Structure 1
Amino acid sequence: MIELKPLNKDTTPAYVLVFAAGSGLVGFLIVVLDLCGFLTGAKSPFGLSHGWKKTPILATFWPLGAAITGYIGTLLQIFQPTLLACATAGVAWHFGMQQIAKRARRQLEEEADTGDEEIEQ
Structure 2
Amino acid sequence: MTLQDNARRLRREMTEVEARLWYQLRDRRLDGFKFRRQKPIGPYIVDFVCLDGRLIIELDGGQHALQVEADARREAFLQAAGFRVLRFWNHEVRANEAAVLERIHQALLACPREET
> TM-score category by the smaller chain?
under 0.3
TM (norm. structure 2) is 0.26
Which has the larger share of helix?
1
Larger radius of gyration: 1
TM (norm. structure 1) is 0.25
Which has the larger share of strand?
2
